[in-house]
Amino acid sequence: MADFLPLFGYAPDRAGTDAFLATLPRPTLATAGPDLVLDESRDVFLGQYLLQCMPEWKRGAQKIGSCVGWGWALSCDILAACDILLRGEAESFGGRVLEASIYAFSRVEVRPGGGRNLGGDGSYGGAAAKAVTKYGTLHYGIDYDGVTFNDNSGTREKEWGRDGVPDKLEPHAAKHKVSTVALATTFEDAARAIQNGYPVAVCSMRGFSMTLRDGGYLTPMGTWAHCMMFAGVRWKPRPALLCVNSWGDCYSGDVDKQLPVQFQRSAGWVEAATCTAMLKGEDSFALSGYAGFPPRMLPDWTGTTL
């Protein structure tokens, strides 16, 4: 931990997020999901569905100020898994979303007029929301006409964040969009979304201690201009959401041993009041309706049966 350097990259743009929200017919969770029920006795952890689809999954670590790409990519990954396992959609899991694709789309393609972005690292929630709904996502391990991405590259994120996603890859990304995003502004909003299988990408200025306490709880401390994501809700001993970071296994201290080991030191529980304070920045979104990959077809079998 001595060499650990936290990297941020959330650059709020109130006007940009407001402009995006104005394009949505139902911009808030209250209007987009009025029938979603909140059950204050039911704990939910959406990461379990991701691990069922991808048992080898492990949280990586961003290498530049690309946290918005990382928080949103994991939200898309978990949404895809929930679509398959909870909603029974006839799709196959396509693997991890390439963080650089969301990061770049959010910095370059979604900007009015497009063009190169020479403003340093960083992005914001409304831009990522527009990116995944209008431009889509790319994935690790997929052959895009001879181009395959297998590594977590800060150089790629830096270059794409300046110049945008290469034009030849945009048609591939467009096949895998998020159909709907909705602003979540309270703990109850986010908890309701999660209980119904919809992860929440959260952008805020709230910082935390790097030491987990009381079985995996995070303690608010300092300021982080950062994007993470909420992947779980619990009610005891104190109502909280599970906040997954993008710094690998970054936390020390008293982990929640009920979580899978992949999440024990890459995430922590954030109490309800702190969650609401984070979401009140009005730049955090619940995601629904991921356009996944076609079902894998079994090979033709021409044998005979007895």
DSSP for 207-227 reads EE-SEEBTTTB--EEEEEEEE
Output the pLDDT for position 300: 63
- Cβ partners under 8 Å of residue 268, min gap 6: 208, 212, 216, 217, 218, 242, 243, 245, 251
DSSP 293: B
pTM of the prediction? Answer: 0.95
Rounded distance between C-alpha atoms, residue 37 and residue 160, angstroms: 40
**Longest CA span, the chain:** 70
* Kind and range of the H or E run holding 205: strand 200-208
Output the pLDDT for position 112: 86
**What sign for the dihedral angle of Cα 254, 258, 260, 266?**
negative
Helices (H), 86-223: 99-104, 125-130, 154-163, 170-173, 187-195
**Terminal C-alpha separation, the chain:** 62
Smallest CA-to-CA distance from 139 within 147, 131, 130 is with 147
Smallest CA-to-CA distance from 241 within 212, 218, 269 is with 269
For each of the chain's 306 residues, which pLDDT tens digit applies?
446 678 999 999 999 999 999 999 999 999 999 999 999 999 999 999 999 999 999 999 999 999 999 999 999 999 999 999 999 999 999 999 999 999 999 999 999 887 899 999 999 999 999 999 999 999 999 999 999 999 999 999 999 999 999 999 999 999 999 999 999 999 999 999 999 999 999 999 999 999 999 999 999 999 999 999 999 999 999 999 999 999 999 999 999 999 999 999 999 999 999 999 999 999 999 999 999 999 976 566 665 554
Whether 131 contacts 102, CB under 8 Å: yes
Q: Which pair of tokens denotes residue 91?
A: 């799709």
Whether 273 contacts 188, CB under 8 Å: no
Output the pLDDT for position 86: 97
Output the pLDDT for position 2: 43
Output the pLDDT for position 301: 65
